[in-house]
Amino acid sequence: MSDDDPDSDDSWNVAARDETETQRLDRNWSSLLQELRVVQTGVQFLTGFLLTLPFQNRFFDLSDAMQGVYLATVTCSIGATVFLVAPVGMHRLLFRRHKLKDLVAASHRFAISGLVLLGLALTGVVALIFDTVAGQLPAVIASAATALAFAYFWLVFPWVRRGRS
Protein backbone atom coordinates (compact mmCIF):
# COMPACT_ATOMS: atom_id res chain seq x y z
CA MET A 1 0.00 0.00 0.00
CA SER A 2 1.50 3.33 -1.09
CA ASP A 3 1.30 6.33 1.25
CA ASP A 4 0.34 8.53 -1.68
CA ASP A 5 -2.40 6.29 -3.09
CA PRO A 6 -5.77 7.77 -2.03
CA ASP A 7 -7.60 4.56 -2.94
CA SER A 8 -5.53 2.47 -0.54
CA ASP A 9 -5.96 5.18 2.14
CA ASP A 10 -9.74 5.03 1.65
CA SER A 11 -9.68 1.23 1.87
CA TRP A 12 -7.66 1.35 5.09
CA ASN A 13 -10.04 3.88 6.63
CA VAL A 14 -13.06 1.75 5.78
CA ALA A 15 -11.43 -1.41 7.15
CA ALA A 16 -9.75 0.05 10.25
CA ARG A 17 -12.15 2.84 11.21
CA ASP A 18 -15.38 1.84 9.50
CA GLU A 19 -15.59 5.43 8.24
CA THR A 20 -16.89 6.88 5.02
CA GLU A 21 -14.90 9.29 2.89
CA THR A 22 -16.97 12.18 4.24
CA GLN A 23 -16.32 11.11 7.83
CA ARG A 24 -12.60 10.87 7.06
CA LEU A 25 -12.61 14.33 5.49
CA ASP A 26 -14.44 15.74 8.53
CA ARG A 27 -11.88 14.11 10.84
CA ASN A 28 -8.97 15.37 8.72
CA TRP A 29 -10.43 18.89 8.66
CA SER A 30 -10.85 18.87 12.46
CA SER A 31 -7.27 17.65 12.96
CA LEU A 32 -5.93 20.27 10.59
CA LEU A 33 -7.84 23.04 12.38
CA GLN A 34 -6.38 21.94 15.72
CA GLU A 35 -2.86 22.04 14.26
CA LEU A 36 -3.47 25.46 12.73
CA ARG A 37 -4.76 26.83 16.04
CA VAL A 38 -1.44 25.90 17.64
CA VAL A 39 0.68 27.80 15.13
CA GLN A 40 -1.56 30.68 14.03
CA THR A 41 -1.34 32.69 17.23
CA GLY A 42 2.42 32.25 17.46
CA VAL A 43 3.12 33.21 13.86
CA GLN A 44 0.82 36.24 14.11
CA PHE A 45 2.58 37.36 17.30
CA LEU A 46 5.99 36.85 15.67
CA THR A 47 4.94 38.86 12.62
CA GLY A 48 3.62 41.68 14.77
CA PHE A 49 6.84 41.78 16.76
CA LEU A 50 8.97 41.82 13.61
CA LEU A 51 6.93 44.67 12.14
CA THR A 52 7.79 46.88 15.14
CA LEU A 53 11.58 46.44 14.91
CA PRO A 54 12.36 49.15 12.32
CA PHE A 55 10.80 51.67 14.68
CA GLN A 56 13.29 50.87 17.44
CA ASN A 57 16.32 53.13 17.96
CA ARG A 58 18.94 50.39 17.53
CA PHE A 59 17.46 48.95 14.32
CA PHE A 60 19.72 50.99 12.06
CA ASP A 61 22.76 49.77 14.00
CA LEU A 62 22.22 46.46 12.16
CA SER A 63 24.60 45.84 9.30
CA ASP A 64 23.25 45.90 5.76
CA ALA A 65 23.46 42.10 5.73
CA MET A 66 21.40 41.82 8.93
CA GLN A 67 18.85 44.30 7.60
CA GLY A 68 18.59 41.96 4.59
CA VAL A 69 18.11 39.02 6.96
CA TYR A 70 15.44 41.06 8.73
CA LEU A 71 13.57 41.75 5.48
CA ALA A 72 13.77 38.09 4.46
CA THR A 73 12.57 37.08 7.93
CA VAL A 74 9.60 39.47 7.78
CA THR A 75 8.74 38.18 4.31
CA CYS A 76 8.81 34.57 5.55
CA SER A 77 6.77 35.43 8.63
CA ILE A 78 4.11 37.26 6.63
CA GLY A 79 4.08 34.40 4.11
CA ALA A 80 3.65 31.91 6.95
CA THR A 81 0.76 33.98 8.31
CA VAL A 82 -0.91 34.06 4.88
CA PHE A 83 -0.58 30.30 4.36
CA LEU A 84 -1.59 29.33 7.90
CA VAL A 85 -4.68 31.56 7.89
CA ALA A 86 -5.67 30.79 4.27
CA PRO A 87 -7.72 27.68 5.20
CA VAL A 88 -10.06 29.90 7.24
CA GLY A 89 -10.76 32.20 4.31
CA MET A 90 -11.06 29.28 1.95
CA HIS A 91 -13.52 27.59 4.31
CA ARG A 92 -15.67 30.71 4.44
CA LEU A 93 -15.81 30.96 0.65
CA LEU A 94 -16.49 27.25 0.16
CA PHE A 95 -18.94 26.93 3.07
CA ARG A 96 -21.96 24.81 2.08
CA ARG A 97 -20.56 24.23 -1.40
CA HIS A 98 -19.74 20.53 -0.82
CA LYS A 99 -16.03 21.14 -1.49
CA LEU A 100 -14.65 19.52 1.66
CA LYS A 101 -12.27 17.29 -0.30
CA ASP A 102 -10.79 20.33 -2.09
CA LEU A 103 -10.67 22.29 1.17
CA VAL A 104 -8.81 19.58 3.07
CA ALA A 105 -6.34 18.94 0.23
CA ALA A 106 -5.54 22.63 -0.33
CA SER A 107 -5.39 23.39 3.40
CA HIS A 108 -2.94 20.52 3.88
CA ARG A 109 -0.63 22.08 1.28
CA PHE A 110 -1.10 25.55 2.79
CA ALA A 111 -0.21 24.23 6.26
CA ILE A 112 2.99 22.58 5.02
CA SER A 113 4.00 25.75 3.14
CA GLY A 114 3.22 27.86 6.20
CA LEU A 115 5.30 25.63 8.46
CA VAL A 116 8.29 25.79 6.10
CA LEU A 117 8.06 29.59 6.02
CA LEU A 118 7.64 29.69 9.81
CA GLY A 119 10.80 27.61 10.23
CA LEU A 120 12.69 30.01 7.94
CA ALA A 121 11.31 33.02 9.83
CA LEU A 122 12.34 31.59 13.19
CA THR A 123 15.79 30.81 11.81
CA GLY A 124 16.04 34.45 10.71
CA VAL A 125 14.98 35.66 14.15
CA VAL A 126 17.71 33.53 15.72
CA ALA A 127 20.27 35.05 13.31
CA LEU A 128 19.13 38.59 14.16
CA ILE A 129 19.18 38.05 17.91
CA PHE A 130 22.52 36.25 18.00
CA ASP A 131 24.12 38.80 15.68
CA THR A 132 22.91 41.68 17.88
CA VAL A 133 23.88 40.06 21.17
CA ALA A 134 26.93 37.92 20.40
CA GLY A 135 28.22 38.79 16.92
CA GLN A 136 28.32 37.39 13.41
CA LEU A 137 29.97 33.99 13.99
CA PRO A 138 27.64 32.96 16.83
CA ALA A 139 24.72 34.14 14.66
CA VAL A 140 25.81 31.91 11.79
CA ILE A 141 26.28 28.92 14.09
CA ALA A 142 22.99 29.42 15.96
CA SER A 143 20.93 30.01 12.83
CA ALA A 144 22.50 27.02 11.07
CA ALA A 145 21.74 24.83 14.11
CA THR A 146 18.17 26.16 14.16
CA ALA A 147 17.69 25.50 10.45
CA LEU A 148 19.05 21.96 10.86
CA ALA A 149 16.75 21.32 13.84
CA PHE A 150 13.70 22.49 11.90
CA ALA A 151 14.72 20.51 8.83
CA TYR A 152 15.25 17.36 10.88
CA PHE A 153 12.26 17.49 13.25
CA TRP A 154 9.72 19.01 10.85
CA LEU A 155 10.77 17.32 7.59
CA VAL A 156 13.34 14.51 7.72
CA PHE A 157 12.12 12.63 10.80
CA PRO A 158 8.44 12.61 9.74
CA TRP A 159 9.40 11.75 6.16
CA VAL A 160 11.44 8.76 7.34
CA ARG A 161 8.59 7.63 9.60
CA ARG A 162 6.15 8.04 6.71
CA GLY A 163 8.27 5.74 4.56
CA ARG A 164 8.26 3.04 7.24
CA SER A 165 4.48 2.79 7.58
User: Using one digit for the tens of pLDDT, what is the confidence trace for 32-72?
Assistant: 999 999 999 999 999 999 999 999 999 999 999 999 999 99
pTM as predicted? 0.86
Secondary structure percentages of the chain, helix, strand, coil, to 5: 90, 0, 10
* Per-residue pLDDT band at 99 (split at 50, 70, 90): confident
Mean pLDDT taken over the chain: 91
Phi, psi angles (nearest 5°) of residue 95: -55, 130
- Please return the burial class of 155, using the count of CB atoms within 10 Å of its CB with bins 0-12, 13-18 and 19+: middle
**Residue 6 has what pLDDT?**
57
**Residue 115 has what pLDDT?**
95
User: Using one digit for the tens of pLDDT, what is the confidence trace for 124-143?
Assistant: 999 999 999 999 999 999 99
**Residue 4 has what pLDDT?**
54
- Please return the burial class of 22, using the count of CB atoms within 10 Å of its CB with bins 0-12, 13-18 and 19+: exposed
